[in-house]
Structure formats: C-alpha cells, structure tokens
Amino acid sequence: MSDSENCLFCKIAAGAIPSRKVYEDDELFAFHDIHPAAPVHFLLIPKAHIPSLAQAGPEQAGLLGRMMVLAPRLAIEQGCNPYPEGGFRTLINTGAEGGQEVHHLHAHVMGGPRPWLKG
Ligand code: AMP
Ligand code: ZN
C-alpha cells in the first residue's frame, strides 16, 4: 500500500505507464482520470510517493499548498468555466472509508457544465 515500487501513480509520474498529461514540474504531475466523472476530470499528484493525506506532515505543508494553488490554474486551462458561475470540485479521498483506491496522494479536480456522472 505504501510501496512506491509497485505504485501505479509513481509509474505514471515517471512516464513508465502512459497517461494523458496535463502538467508537470519538478515536484508535481497532473493527468486526466481514466474514468472521468465530469467533463473535466484530472488528478494532481506529488511526484514523491506519499500514500495518502493521512501520511502528510508539516514538512509537506508547502507541497500541499502548491498543489492547491496550482489546481485553479490547471482547471481553467483544461476548460472549466471561471468562478463563480463555473468553478470546479477538488477532492482528496483518504483511506478505505474515504473512498481511496490508489494509495498515492492525489487530488481530483472536476469541472465543466452539469450534470456530471457523480454528484
Ligand atoms: P481514488 O478512488 O480517489 O483513489 O481515485 C483513483 C482514481 O484513479 C479513479 O478516479 C480512477 O479512475 C483513476 N485511475 C486509475 N487508474 C488510472 C490510470 N491508469 N490513469 C488515469 N487514472 C486512473
Ligand atoms: Zn506512488
């Protein structure tokens, strides 16, 4: 579960498994969700293997802040309509009861005209 060697999203961030890339810098990577729940649906991840938000400590505060600040920029670039009439949903599932299936910290960014598949 916390093994980066067998982690799907580590492999995607490293380019070892193909994805539809949205963004990349030294520490962050974003790619389209393979099963989109909204017209725009991408995942924003740290390149470093952090299993979930439950494992993020004070040393990750800057990284998490940069993820959150990047989300609105990428949302607009990917076609979400501007706030307040448009906007987007930002979701971090954590643990089994939080609905987390892939155990590499990721933020879902979903947007576009309603209705969506979920929500
Ligand atoms: P979560 O339930 O929050 O762990 O979400 C995992 C998300 O990863 C789901 O929305 C999946 O559709 C998505 N996903 C799984 N495998 C891939 C993949 N190879 N490429 C892109 N998205 C994926
Ligand atoms: Zn990983």
Each residue of 36-48: pLDDT tens digit?
A: 999 999 999 999 9
pTM of the model: 0.97
Q: What pLDDT was estimated at residue 4?
A: 86
Cα 100 vs. chain centroid, distance in angstroms?
Answer: 12
Among 43, 52, 89, say which to mutate for ligand 1: greatest number of ligand atoms within 8 Å of CB: 43
Q: Which domains does the chain have, with CATH numbers?
A: 3-111 (3.30.428.10)
Residues lining ligand 1, Cβ inside 6 A: 8, 19, 31, 33-35, 93, 99-102
Residue 40 has, within 13 A of its CA and on its CB side, a CA count of 23
User: How open is the CA angle 66-72-74, to the nearest 5 degrees?
Assistant: 90
Nearest to 116 by CA among 39, 19, 48, 63: 39
Among 11, 33, 40, 104, say which to mutate for ligand 1: greatest number of ligand atoms within 8 Å of CB: 33
Instruction: Give the H/E segment covering residue 23.
Output: strand 21-24
Ligand 2 centroid to Cα of residue 84, in Å, is 34
Q: Which amino acid makes up residue 116?
A: W
Confidence band for 54, pLDDT divided at 50, 70 and 90: very high
C-alpha–C-alpha distance, residues 27 and 37, integer Å: 26
Sign for the CA dihedral angle at 108, 113, 117, 118 comes to positive
pLDDT at 55 over 90: yes
Confidence band for 119, pLDDT divided at 50, 70 and 90: low
Q: Mind listing the pLDDT tens digit for each residue in 91-116?
A: 999 999 999 999 999 999 999 999 99
Six token digits for residue 105: 């910290």
Q: Which amino acid makes up residue 94?
A: T
